[in-house]
Structure 1
Amino acid sequence: MKRFSLFFVFISLNSCQYFEKQIPSEKELLQKELKSINWKVVDEYPSLPDCEKINDKSQRQQCFFEIMSRLIQEKLDIDTLSILYPELDTIEVKVTVFPNATLEFEPQFPKDSVTYDTIKIDSILRARLIDFPKVNPAIKRGIPVKSQFILPVILKEKKNKLNEKDLK
């Protein structure tokens, strides 16, 4: 009888129906997980094939920004922006890298940019900024995501030095 009562006590203490725990719903778990994610930071920044060899995350990011700035600069060097707007030496370009590896470029103008024909500059930029190398999109939790950043692009370098030939 002692064995039976000991067995009965053991079974009753381990019975699930007496110690039910509240299991959170799927929606609650999803909301909790979504709130814990920092959506402003990606796990991997977009990259170009030339930067893939670099293991350090910050150096790979720097490589990407430098190459993109240089490519945009090279494409705009052969254009008429410097002739049409000689006072315009630097322009900020908002670059959007979509999850499907496509790029979009949008010039950013200061709020007081009434001196520039923003529509004309925008159309020139859109016409010139094509045929870029394949860009791998940013990664967040193993999934490609859209990323945006603003690159300052130097349209022309001001020459402050005079040649000796010009002085003679």
Structure 2
Amino acid sequence: MKHYYFFLLFAIFNSCQYFEKQVPSEKELLQKELKAINWKEVDEYPSFVDCDKLDEKVQRQQCFFDSLTQLIQEKLEIDTLSALYPELDTIEVKVTVFPNSKMQFEPQFPKDSVAYDTIKIDSILHARLVNFPKVNPALKQGIPVKTQFILPVIIKVE
């Protein structure tokens, strides 16, 4: 019985160290969690309603990019862009998807582009790239976030 008391007394003295540990503050925990998040990537990419039916993240992402590229190409096919600038076969478009599901399109031109009127092309793109289907914004930690990417759009010459 003496051994049990000795063991119990030993356990009590050694367990006191567990009660004296400091609990981190809210700010420390928040900073630790914020550092653990990869802010360069989103959890869910933007998507159209049709693409949400797909199960895998990579397939939904590819569906979104393919659908958006196709929609932009269809909207630009009916224009005189290819007739005005036959040497222009691809335009890089910077697409911004805002958390409120709005999209913005900005053409990206090489810094030395003097062969064509960038202001005119920009105005044509802004006039044509309207009335897109509803897009679901990208999600990070379950919160809608703004995303930007550059999409190469091939202008089909007919």
TM-score (normalised: structure 1): 0.81
When Rg is computed on C-alpha atoms for both structures, the one with the higher figure is 1
Shift of 1:126: 0.7
Q: Which amino acid aligns with 2:117?
A: D
Paired positions, count? 154
Aligned-pair Cα RMSD in Å: 2.4
Shift of residue 14, structure 1, vs aligned partner: 8.9
Q: CA deviation at 1:49?
A: 1.0
Query: Aligned to 1:52, what secondary structure does the other structure show?
Result: helix
Residues 1:13 and 1:68: Cα distance change in structure 2 (over 3 Å): same
Q: What amino acid sits opposite 1:75 in the alignment?
A: K
1:155 is aligned to 155
The match for 2:84 is 84
SS at match of 2:46: coil
For 2:65, give the aligned amino acid: F
Q: How many angstroms does 1:29 deviate by?
A: 1.3
C-alpha distance in 1 between matches for 2:135 and 2:93: 17
In the alignment, what sits opposite 2:143? 143
Deviation at 1:84, TM superposition (A): 1.5
Question: 2: CA distance between counterparts of 1:150 and 1:26?
Answer: 38
Where has structure 1 moved over 4 Å in runs of 4 or more?
12-19
Cα deviation, 1:99-142, whole Å, max 9, x if unaligned, reads: 11000001011121121211111111111100000000011111
Match of 2:36 in 1: 36
Q: CA deviation at 1:20?
A: 2.4
Deviations for 1:40-92, whole angstroms, at most 9, x for unmatched residues? 11111111011111101111111110000000001111112112111101101
Residue aligning to 2:124: 124
Q: Which amino acid aligns with 1:100?
A: N
2:47 corresponds in structure 1 to 47
Alpha-carbon separation, structure 2, partners of 1:63 and 1:17:
56
Matching residue's letter, 1:155: I
Change (3 A) 1:126 1:18: closer
